[in-house]
Amino acid sequence: MEDIDKTAGDLQRMGRLTEGEQIKQGVDYSEQAVRMATVHTREDMVLVVSYLSGIAKDVRKIQQWVSALGILAVVTIIALFIIPGWRH
């Protein structure tokens, strides 16, 4: 996790550098580099959307299970406490 935080911090600092400082640091804004960066960004976005879609499906499943357990709890309470003749 520390590596991710360090990388994120480095990227943030690089974004704050002036154009002259970026050239000194080796930041490349050539047409080819921009195209490659765009492709990589698209690939990353596809991965993020894919992960979020999977998480959303899992959350829906959990929500369905919780709803089913809630209904079961209500039915059990009704059966045990509200309908007195139900228990033998």
Q: How many other C-beta atoms can be found within 10 angstroms of the C-beta atom of residue 27? A: 13
Q: Give the pLDDT band (50/70/90) at residue 13.
A: confident
pLDDT for 59 equals: 97
Dihedral of the alpha carbons of 48, 54, 57, 63, in degrees to the nearest 10: -90
Amino acid at 74: V
pLDDT for 73 equals: 94
Q: Give the pLDDT band (50/70/90) at residue 28.
A: confident
Higher pLDDT residue, 60 or 1?
60
